[in-house]
Structure formats: C-alpha cells, structure tokens
Copies of this chain bind each other. A is one copy, B any other.
Amino acid sequence: MSEALDRFVAEREQDWVLQRRAFHREPELGFTEVRTAATLAARLAELGFEVRAGEAVMRPEAMLGVPSADQIRERLAAVRAEERLRPWAQAMDAGCTGLVAELRRGAGPVTALRFDIDALPVRECAESDHRPAREGFASTRPGLMHSCGHDGHAAIGLGVAEWLAHPGSGWRGTVRLVFQPAEEGGRGAFPMAEAGVVDDADWLFAAHLGCGLATGEVAAAGVEMLWSTKLDAVFHGRAAHAAGNPQDGRNALLAGATASLNLHALPRYQGATTRFNVGRMDAGTGRNVIPDRCHLQLEVRGETEAAAAWLEDRAREILDAAARMHACGLEVEVMGRTASAPCDSAATAIVSAAATDTPGIHRVIPEYSIGGGEDAPYLMRRVQAGGGAATYFLIGSDLADCHHSVRFDFDERSIALGVRLFASIVERASAGPPTRVHRGPTPQDPDVGAA
C-alpha cells in the first residue's frame, strides 16, 4: 500500500488543502452546513459511495438547539443556483445536514469513520499576520469562522474517501464515512446515533486536529471528556416604570442574578469532577424599566453521567426557584449535550500501530486528556453497545492560536497526515472485527465510604 499511497498523497494533497480553504471561506453553523454537506455528498457520490442524507441519517426528534427556519432557508438559497448541489441540499431543509457515505468491498467488518463539519460564531481576524486573511481564504461570512479546525476534518474525510475509492487501497468489508453536523454545542452526534447509523459498526474511529499536540504527534485515546448539558433559560417578568410603580414589576434581572449566584454556588461532588458555567446573561430593556426578561446561557459538566445528571437536576431546581422568587415565568430548553465514552483497547491499538507506521508522525501518546466536551461519544457508545470497538484520537497540528480564537489556524500538513493515518487505520481494522473488547476505565460514582 505504502508506495501507492505515497504517490496518491503527493498528487492529491494540494487539492485537499484547496478544499479545506474553500470550506474555511464559507463557514456554516451547526445544522445549517448545507453547502459543506452538499459539496461532500456530490463528491462522494462521484467517487462511487452510496450516500444517504437528511432524515434518513438523523432523527429529527433527537435534534436539540435547531436554528430558525429562516437561517436554514438562507443556506438552502445559497446553493439553489448550483445544479450539482441542489438535489443534496433539498434533503436538508429541516436542518438535517448529516451525511453517511458507504463503500463495500466484499465480506469483512464494518469500519466507521466520523468527521464533524460545522463552524463557530466567531468573527475572524482580518489582520495580515493571520494567514487566512493574508492568503485570501478568510471567512466571507461576517461573524462566522472555522476556528476549531472542522474545515480540516472535512478535508481529511474527503481525502480518505478518495483513497478508499482508489483501486490501490488495501481494505475489505464495508467502510462508512459519517459526516456529522453541529458538533459545537453537542447537538449533531446524538440524532445520528439515534438514527442507527453506526449500530452495526465493528469499528468506529473519530479524531480531532490540534488540541495542544504538535504536528507529528498522535494520541491514540482522548480521555477525561465530560458529560455535559447546555441549557438556555428565559425568565419572563413584568415591566413597570422603575420610579412610577416599581411594586408592579416582576424583576427578571434579579431572578437571573440570583439564579447565577446560586448555580455557581452548587456544591462540589465527591468522586467526580464537575463544572458549571453561566456564560451569558442578557436582561432588561431600558434603564428606567423593571426588567421583564432575562436570558441565561449555561452549561453543566460532570466526569460521570450521574454527576452531570445530578448537577443538571439541581440547576433546574435553582432556575425554577429563582423564577418563583421573583414571580416570573420560566422556560428552560436543552440546547445540546455531550457524553463520555471509554476508548477501547482494540481500537487504540490500531491507531497506535497505524501512527507508528505513518511517515511524518514521530510521537505516539497512549492517552491524552481532553478538557472540553465532545458528542462523538454518543456514536461510540452505540458501537460499543453492539459489541464493536471505538476510539477518539488526536492528530497533532501546530496551531497559530488556541481553538475558538479569532486567530485560530492549523498546520495544513496535518491534512495529508490525517489522510494517511485514517487510510492505515481502515486497512488494519478491515482485517477483522475486534475479538474481545478491553475497555479503558469508565469513571463511575464511587461507593463513598465513611469520611
């Protein structure tokens, strides 16, 4: 394989970089990745993949934090003129921007690869020392940016697809590429998992670029992801003139302030790391009006499912009580969730072996702690429930600035490295299903003894 792959990469790498830059230029938020997904779908179909899109691969009832119909429609309109993309876009009108592309080569295991494709609400830096600005591929959509590297993920996915479709690639069985929308906010993986897209998979490999590892470094397992729930809460009070009849008001700002303080004051949790944040608060209409509305954006996280659930329950209790305290109404909406899943040793062994053999990769780390949340674990847990093996691994890349920054950029050499690594992983995995799965530790709530 190696020589054929070398030639293939040498030939195609420049196109993958250009494709990444095209994605970068037109970032799309979660559940509105119409152009991105349609572009991928059209190309994958050309390559011979059987491509499914829309509700066939996403369960609409399981989608959280879906944007307004207007926002989705605006994206559909953006590709209307493009014949090649329009048919694919039509399937996505409810925000179902996920894709599943499958290729079969006779008997053999089902190997699933997952790539996330959404961008962030970040206003990209326009200064000339920011390479995308200097080299002309900065975002053309003000306020939106690929500042987490998912444009790279999508490009890698496309490169892998090209190689897998190439007669020189040495795998067998079934490969299934899962292009997932809305990873940011923890929204896209769950409805795809619920649609069953990986239920029969023997293997699942998901990856992220960067994350603090340098170009040429690979970690076979990302650990210590946190379970999380993202909540929006809106307090509905009653306006009143602050001087004229203050007693007629119902102060939604004070409800939100009280909630915020008490939410942050929730106790630590013995035996599991927890996190809490009210990241946004927007309340009131004018200086001299009792605020009649307060919008909070918050999130709870926990090392175990039980700890996260406990924290969410307590948070809801506090929100509810804060509303009652100021005689306000309350709406609470789940905007997203992330989960945690163990990385299977059978899968991490394949990643380690593949990384060791990949030219350009000089360091392989067995486990690496992930601070933030991810929703890939929802897919991993489905695979594991069916007896398959999964891992979430990291492909190092020198970064210009940290993830989510307005100056984020990654080392584009990582795209070809990623393609090579996935190619090698698929070849190894397709040799057979995992025999017996040894899971890494799943953090559990301890039996807390006397203390």
Contacts and interface: CB of A to CB of B under 8 A. Distances in A.
A288 interface: yes
A297 B286 CA distance: 8
B253 A260 contact: yes
A150 interface: no
A256 interface: yes
Contact of A403 (B245, B298, B403, B450): B450
Interface in A243-297: 243-247, 249, 251, 253-254, 256-258, 260-262, 264-265, 267-270, 273-291, 294, 297
Interface string A302-338: 0000000010001001101110111100000001000
A366 interface: no
Contacts of A324: 317, 320-321, 324
Contacts of A371: 241, 243-245, 270, 450-451
A81 interface: no
Given A270-B246, A451-B212, A264 B275 contact: no
A211 interface: yes
A221 interface: no
Most interface-central of A278, A287, A289 (chain B CB within 10 A): A287
Contact of A254 (B245, B261, B288, B449): B261
Contacts of A265: 254, 261, 264-265
A241 to B, nearest CB: 6
Contact of A451 (B281, B297, B372): B372
Most buried by B among A230, A246, A325: A325
A253 B278 contact: yes
A76 interface: no
A299 B269 contact: no
A275 B242 contact: yes
Of A273, A283, A310, most B-chain CB atoms within 10 Å: A283
A402 interface: yes
Given A258-B261, A281-B253, A270 B288 contact: no
A56 interface: no
Given A254-B265, A270-B246, A324-B324, A297 B287 contact: yes
Contacts of A288: 277, 279, 299, 372
A262 B270 contact: no
A373 interface: yes
A44 interface: no
A119 to B, nearest CB: 14
B448 A245 contact: yes
A429 interface: no
Given A243-B372, A279-B290, A280-B287, 12 more contacts: A241-B451, A242-B279, A244-B372, A254-B262, A258-B325, A268-B274, A270-B371, A279-B288, A281-B294, A287-B298, A402-B450, A403-B450
18 contacts: A243-B373, A246-B267, A246-B269, A253-B281, A254-B264, A257-B258, A257-B261, A265-B265, A267-B290, A268-B274, A279-B290, A279-B291, A281-B291, A281-B294, A287-B299, A371-B450, A399-B450, A402-B450
